[in-house]
Structure 1
Amino acid sequence: MNLDELKARLRISDTTQDEFLKLALDDAIDFVQRTCNRDFLIDGELKLPPAAKSVAALYVSYEMVANPGIKSESIAGMSQTFESGEERDSALLAQLTSAGLRRVRFKSFGG
């Protein structure tokens, strides 16, 4: 996913926020990869599946609002309510989980 695709998904046509969008996209991709416990690299190139791209775009759109305590919002016909950044992240995590993109991490319990 690159800046042009992100802007298309967010319906942004101007260049005034490009620097912010690049940084936010890096953060969003990092969030998706950490949450899914994957790097999505294929032959050394980042290849996000469509569901991961959608979550990354939502992550950036939430960052654009610049209010981590959003109580209610509507984006492109979808409405969600969050009380904290953690709840926002949980909602995004649920989307990645339902798309089958999360890998389970197992931890040993001593021994």
Structure 2
Amino acid sequence: MQFWHVVGFGALGGLLVELVAFHGRLLALQAKRSQKLGKRGKLPGLRDSLDPLVDTAVALSRIGLGAGAAALLAQQVSGSLAAVLVGSAAPALFRQFGAARSVADAEQQATELEQQP
């Protein structure tokens, strides 16, 4: 698979995760509206559950994270499904990389402290 195909499928994975999250917000809105049906008062609207500017920024960041994770792991990705899965898991992968680095830093500091008199 070519590098840019892997990156594109990774971005698609990030977008798919964001679409699932968006769908969840729509389902929550549907439930709120269903509870209000037949009762007095205004039904909650789409604008009550969505913030287009922030939602767009989050979606773009997910797409970027998905593309970035796929780019970093391009040599290990063997197919389009794997690239999509890497892209969809990108936020969790990067959190794990950060945690691993923090653990390595803590171990190094502990070793340095043990060596001091």
Query: Which structure has the highest helix share of the two?
Result: 2
Compute the TM-score of the two structures, normalised by the length of structure 2.
0.30
Larger RCO of the pair (alpha carbons < 8 Å, separation 6+): 2
Query: Which structure has the highest strand share of the two?
Result: 1
Q: Which has the larger radius of gyration?
A: 2
Compute the TM-score of the two structures, normalised by the length of structure 1.
0.31
